[in-house]
Amino acid sequence: MATARILFLAIISLIGLQQAALVNATFASRMKCTWGFDNCQIGDDAVKLILNKWSGAAIEGFGDFLYGYIDMRIKLVPGNSAAVVTTYYTSSAWTSKESDTHDEIDFEFLGNVSSDGSEFYYTLHTNIFVNGVGNREEQFRMSWYNPTSDYHNYTIFWNPYMVVWSVDGNAIRVFRNYEDQGIPFPKYKPQKVYTSIWNADDWACQGGAVKTNWTYMPFVANYLNYVENVCPYSGPNSVQVCNDPSNWYFNAQYKQLTADQLKTMNDIRSKYQVYNYCTDTKRFNGNFPPECSKPQY
C-alpha cells in the first residue's frame, strides 16, 4: 500500500514538497485519551478505540495548528455496526453552547447493519463549521471500497485557499475560501486533531430507524500511521506567522486541484455522493447558503 507521503503527493501535486518535509509524528507522541480511558488504547503509532454498552472513547492531539496536512489510516468497525459513529476531525476550542464560534472540519463514518458488500454500506459524512455554523453536510455511500477489511488513508488538507477531504489520495470534496465575498472561512482559530467512537442510534443509521445491536459489541475501530505537516500555534502571534505568504501551503500549486484530480473527484461524486446540502431545496426552501452558488473546485 502507498505510504502517506506518496498519497500526499497524489492529493495536492506537490512539485515543491522538499520545501515542507512531512513530520513523521506518531499517535503516542502527538495524541492522548480524553474519554473512555478503558476503551482507548494508544500504541506507538496505532490506536484502538472501543465502543461498548458503557462507554465509547476519544483521543485528541496535544498541539494546536493553523493550516496544514493531516493523514491517518483507519479500519472501521466490521459487520453489524448500525448506529456506531467513528470520527476523525479537526476543531478549534468551544467557548459555550450559547456563544459557539468554533471552527471544525469533519470526517464521520456512520455504521450500518452490514459491511459485507450488501446494500447496507457505511455512510461517509463530511461537514465544515465556521464561527459555530455548520449545516454544510455532504455524504457518500462507501461502496467503492471496503472500509472495514483493510486500512485506508483519510486526509484533511487546509490552507488559506481551500479545505480538501481525501480518501486514499483521491479528493472527494473541496470548500473554497470566498471570505472576500462575505462567506466565512476558517482562517484565524487554531485547531486540534480529534478521533472518537460513540453510539448515535437516535439518528445515525437509516435516520434512527435501526438501533445499535449490543450483542455485537465490542465495536472496534483501528487507526495507524499518523502523519502531519502543519503550522504550529503557540499564541496570538501565530495567526500572523501562519498567514504569512512565505509558508509552503501558500505556493501556487496548492491553490486548486489538478485536472486529473478533478476528473477523479467528479467521478466519485457522481457515483457515490448521496447527499449535498447545496441541492437540498426542501431544507433551504430555495434560499441556499451563499457558497452554493460559487465554484468550489
Give the sign of the dihedral formed by CA 74, CA 33, CA 202, CA 131.
Answer: negative
Per the rule left: phi > 0, alpha: psi between -120 and 50, beta: everything else, 68 is left
Q: How wide is the angle at C-alpha 146 spanned by C-alphas 140 and 151, nearest 5°? A: 105
* Active-site residue, from 60, 98, 108, 119: 108
**Edge-to-edge strand ranges of the sheet holding 40-42:** 40-42, 46-51, 219-233, 64-75, 152-158, 162-167, 170-176
**CA 291 to CA 297: how far, in whole Å?**
12
Q: Is 104 considered catalytic here?
A: yes
What is the DSSP secondary structure assignment for residue 25, as one 8-state letter?
-
In 3D, which of 153, 196, 174, 179 has the Cα closest to residue 261? 174
First to last CA, the chain: 28
Q: Is 108 considered catalytic here?
A: yes
Tell me whether strands 123-129 and 104-110 are parallel, antiparallel or unpaired: antiparallel
Quickly count: other Cβ atoms within 10 Å of residue 11's Cβ. 23
Cell numbers given for 134: 455548520
* Active-site residue, from 104, 138, 228, 291: 104
User: Which whole-number Å values give the CA distances from 154 to 11, 107, 127, 164, in the listed order?
Assistant: 11, 8, 14, 11
Distance of CA 56 to the CA centre of its chain: 19
The owner of cell 492531539 is 61
Residues with a catalytic annotation lie at 104, 108
